[in-house]
Chain A
Amino acid sequence: MDRIGASVLTISPGRPFRASLTTFGALVWSGFRRYATYRQATIAGSFTNIVFGFLRCYVLLAVAAGAVGNRPAGYDVEQLATYVWVGQGLLAVTGMWGWAELADRIRTGDIASDLLRPVPPVVSYLAADLGRALHGVLTRFLGPVLVGLLFFPLVTPQRWQTVPLFVLSVLLAVVGCFGCRFLINATAYWLQDARGPQMLWTLGSGVLAGLYFPLRLLPEWLTVTLWVATPLPGLLQTPLDVLVERDPPALQAGLVALQAIWAVLLIWLATVVQRRAERKLVVQGG
């Protein structure tokens, strides 16, 4: 048994950063693998996204047909169609809805196992979520975008920087969205059950992230307030606006920078909340 028995751990001395990166990478991969297990759910989810894509697209195109100059909120028809279909694809990438894993683990007390690992929970959940998002890009994103391309005229980006900025914006949307969801789930530390906050989140995020309609349809003072005072437009509206080139390049870069600030703020907040929670934590059950 001696070999199973203890030996002082050697934790890659001298290369802590690289070791951390390897750990993070392994956690990302685990997130990817966990979602890759459920193929039927992936197919069913894509199908739903596509059906709702048609609904949303026709509604917005009808709005466009009735608007002055066929440009509601400054979007032309191609931009609107792109907004809808890429948005449908991004839904599963940012994973805005339906994540209750942390809240469930708090409620059942399984959170104890997370605390017994040498990696802080915010880091391990973030890594796993990035893996989930990567899985989303490869499976759930492509379906709606391809269907959109087949049935509607979509925008082709004109500026060279649009695609890299879009990729960055999506990454920040994923991180920001994770931060929001972590905080919503973390209310379970105090409430035992996060279903109430989660319902509020589902309602609020759909409206205020620009899923149900582009936020630009709202009065300007309101859109500006939403953008600056809440992280929500950064979860969906910003990456889509970047892709359809709704604004001049400088403003687009500014919006992405705003996303970045919110992402950092949310992760920091998640860390603080987690630390607070650990201090008062009651692990449920024997």
Chain B
Amino acid sequence: MIQMRELRKDFTVRVKAGRLRREKRTVSAVDGIDLTIEPGEMVGYIGPNGAGKSTTLKMLTGVLSPSSGEVSVFGLTPVPQRTRLALRIGVVFGQRSQLWWDLPLGESFRLLRHIYRVPAAEHEARLRRCRGLLDLDAFLDTPVRQLSLGQRMRGELTAALLHGPRVLFLDEPTIGLDVVSKQAVRSFLAELGASGDVTLVLTTHDLADIERLCDRLVVIDHGRVVHDGTIEALHARYGSRRSLVVELDEPLPPGFTLPGASVTGVEADGHRVTFALDGSSSGAAVAALVAVASVRDLSVVEPDIEDVVARLYQAG
């Protein structure tokens, strides 16, 4: 459905080189990306700022032309066949608006129906679903310029879906949203993805979006793919482990070892100890620990995706 082969985008920047002289320098925003996305997939596309995420998305949607390489979406080449492609894809740029600033939200939707030439019945049905799921009714008559960011983003999502696109590109859809709005957007997208007939490509800096929504994670850095697979695969690759944090009445005897786990931190004069679990079940570790020490409290902490990704970015 979506194919990128050796996709590159270079930008020329002029850098100061001396008092008056400026040198041209080529910067590769996207540096040879190969990626295939199948129908129905939900792909999280992440990377540090400036890694080339948005640039890739712009090339996929036909807004930017690639410097070299191939890209096809539905078998169409995005830039030359942009208007045809536009009928089949939905795009939300979290930092931009596709709605008309001066028009009420409802009127923007009506205009979009004519722009995309959607039959009235289909338009009504889709709008009704979105109104229900995203609680739009309270502000359908409000001009877009007066909407809060959360309201506007719900409007943007609706606007991107009214023509029934098969692929939805979302560029940081939860940026700047409060917790409740984020959850609303996420659960809406989760439901959309669960139906299986919309392919979703999502860039974000909020990894909770990815954990909640995406079964495939593509990490790019400096314009190259550095990871492509599930979140679990990422953990396995970077050796992230679950940890067991225990609070003890007495510090552990010196030289104490727990089979299948290693001590990674000792705090509060030895009253709080953190073990990293090397594949062993937390139950076995807890049982072994309780047998020798008096445990006041304990918790098992799942590996944090943010840590893994931070390590990944720093390595790059």
Tell me whether A6 and B86 are in contact (CB under 8 A): no
B-chain residues with CB within 8 Å of residue A6 when the two chains form the complex: 164-166, 197-198
A-chain residues with CB within 8 Å of residue B143 when the two chains form the complex: 37
Q: How far is the CA of A129 from the CA of B197 in the complex (A)?
A: 38
Q: From A165-173, A197-205, A274-282, give the one contacting chain B.
A: A274-282
Residue A159, interface by CB 8 Å: no
B129's nearest neighbour on chain A, judged by CB, is A4
Given known contacts A33-B107, A120-B83, is B96 in contact with A109 (CB within 8 Å)? yes
B191's nearest neighbour on chain A, judged by CB, is A1
Q: How far is the CA of A34 from the CA of B118 in the complex (A)?
A: 22
Tell me whether A118 and B84 are in contact (CB under 8 A): yes
Given known contacts A22-B114, A116-B98, is B93 in contact with A278 (CB within 8 Å)? no
Q: How far is the CA of A264 from the CA of B94 in the complex (A)?
A: 38
Residue A39, interface by CB 8 Å: no
A36's nearest neighbour on chain B, judged by CB, is B102
> Contact partner of B129 among A3, A118, A119, CB < 8 A?
A3
> Contact partner of A5 among B58, B103, B192, CB < 8 A?
B192
Residue A98, interface by CB 8 Å: no
Residue B14, interface by CB 8 Å: no
Q: From B62-70, B237-245, B293-301, give the one contacting chain A.
A: B62-70
Chain A, residues 30-69, CB within 8 Å of chain B (1/0): the string is: 1001100110000000000000000000000000000000
Q: From A7-15, A76-84, A86-94, A218-226, give the one contacting chain B.
A: A7-15
Residue A115, interface by CB 8 Å: yes
Tell me whether B191 and A115 are in contact (CB under 8 A): no
B-chain residues with CB within 8 Å of residue A124 when the two chains form the complex: 115
A-chain residues with CB within 8 Å of residue B165 when the two chains form the complex: 6
> Contact partner of B87 among A23, A118, A120, A279, CB < 8 A?
A118
> Contact partner of B93 among A29, A113, A279, CB < 8 A?
A113
Tell me whether A34 and B126 are in contact (CB under 8 A): no
> Contact partner of B197 among A5, A10, A108, CB < 8 A?
A5
Tell me whether A113 and B194 are in contact (CB under 8 A): no
Residue A255, interface by CB 8 Å: no
Q: How far is the CA of A6 from the CA of B122 in the complex (A)?
A: 11
Chain B, residues 130-173, CB within 8 Å of chain A (1/0): the string is: 10000000000001000000000000000001011110000110
Tell me whether B86 and A7 are in contact (CB under 8 A): no
Tell me whether A5 and B195 are in contact (CB under 8 A): yes
Given known contacts A12-B117, A23-B114, A279-B65, is B103 in contact with A4 (CB within 8 Å)? no
Residue A285, interface by CB 8 Å: yes
Residues of chain A in range 260-286 having any CB-CB distance to chain B below 8 Å: 278-279, 281-283, 285-286
Please, could you name 18 A-B residue pairs with CB atoms under 8 Å apart, sorted by A? A4-B130, A5-B198, A11-B87, A12-B117, A27-B114, A34-B100, A112-B58, A112-B93, A115-B63, A116-B91, A278-B79, A281-B63, A281-B64, A282-B11, A283-B64, A285-B95, A286-B54, A286-B95
Extra A-B contacts (8), CB below 8 Å, given A26-B110, A29-B111, A281-B65: A7-B122, A26-B115, A30-B111, A33-B102, A116-B63, A118-B84, A118-B87, A286-B54
Q: Which residues of B contact A (CB under 8 A)?
A: 11, 49, 54, 58, 61-65, 79, 82-84, 86-89, 91, 93, 95-98, 100, 102-103, 107, 110-111, 114-119, 122, 125-126, 129-130, 143, 161, 163-166, 171-172, 191-192, 194-195, 197-198
The 9 closest A-B pairs by CB, nearest first: A26-B114, A113-B98, A1-B195, A118-B86, A6-B166, A34-B102, A5-B197, A5-B195, A118-B83
